[in-house]
Structure 1
Amino acid sequence: MVVLKEITVLTTQYNQWIRITDEIERVMKESGIQNGIVNVISRHTTTGVTVNESLECLESDMSEFLSRLAPEDWPYAHARMLRDYGSTAGNPTGHLKSLMTGNHCHLVVSGGELERGGAQEVYFCEFDGPAKRTVMVQIMGE
């Protein structure tokens, strides 16, 4: 069986870490699938999906790390007029941060439970907000 659901995430900041583990577990439980895999993927190119420990200090460290790797004041080629869009691209750091975090994760379902380590949480990462975002959750199994 395959179940596909969408989660809507309303972000409130330009860069933001939002824990979505509970929503994924809810969708997984509603699917009735007992054994299989959960695929979680963002539908946006300036967001990420990643798994890590849920600590405010670690979220701050991850944000600072990504900001050092993709500083806002760098002369990016993407920060220019894009004729196809009819506007100036102002979000090159969002694309680069998404590249570093990835835009998806995969989790195992066993005995109707989401298998993850005790400190593992799934994060939706906003790098170009605030915005209304969509995350796809696909559960495959039996």
Structure 2
Amino acid sequence: MTTITVSTDAKTELVDITDRVEAALPDDATGTATVFVRHTTAGITVNEAESALLGDMAAFLEATVDDSGWDHDRLDDNADSHLRALLVGPSETIPVTDGRLETGTWQSVLLVECDGPRSRTVEIRVSD
């Protein structure tokens, strides 16, 4: 298992971490890589990392979940971040061959920040 740290700059942001995930894989790794974010207000997804689309995805999450009006806001005013992360999920499982992610042409591994800016811990674990 390897962990990486990803820093974000905005409340809602998608960060392409594909190269960092692949660099964390052993050269001879074959099987599946699970990429897991250790936070309840962030997620991991696989999608295209084109800049306009990344902005569209962030805007979609913001438009889908209202910023306020949630019961949890009385505790720490970030219920919207938890609910947006719920839509994304905390992990993805990706095939690996010879230390390389077996993604499609336009697929990238994305960290989805829902409560930034923050520093996030991402775990990468390879299984046979």
TM-score (norm 1): 0.85
Q: Does 1:112 align with 2:112?
A: no
Please identify, of 18-27 and 56-65, the stretch whose mean Cα deviation from structure 2 is larger: 56-65
Q: Give the 3-state SS of the residue equivalent to 1:97 in structure 2.
A: helix
> Which whole-Å CA distance do the structure 2 matches of 1:138 and 1:34 have between them?
10
1:16 CA displacement: 1.1
Q: Structure 1 stretches of 5 or more lacking a match?
A: 81-87
What is the correspondence of 1:64-79 to structure 2 with a 5 Å cutoff?
Answer: 64-73=59-68, 75-79=69-73
* Count of matched residue pairs: 128
Q: Specify the alignment match of 2:88 in structure 1.
A: 101
**Alignment match, 2:14:** 17
C-alpha contact 2:47 2:108 (8 A) present in aligned 1: yes
Equivalent in the alignment of 1:83: none
Specify the alignment match of 2:41 in structure 1.
46
CA-based RMSD: 1.2
1:126 to 88, 113, 118: 113
* Contact 1:50 1:102 (C-alpha < 8 Å) held by counterparts: yes
Q: Which amino acid aligns with 1:56?
A: S
Letter aligned with residue 79 of structure 1: D
Shift, 1:117, TM fit:
0.3
Q: Which residue of 1 aligns with 2:125?
A: 138
Q: Which moved more, 1:42-51 or 1:62-71?
A: 62-71
Aligned to 2:3: 6
- Give TM-score, length-normalised by structure 2: 0.94
> Which residue number in structure 2 is paired with residue 90 of structure 1?
77
**Residues 33 and 140 of structure 1 are in contact (CA less than 8 Å); yes or no, is this contact kept in structure 2?**
no
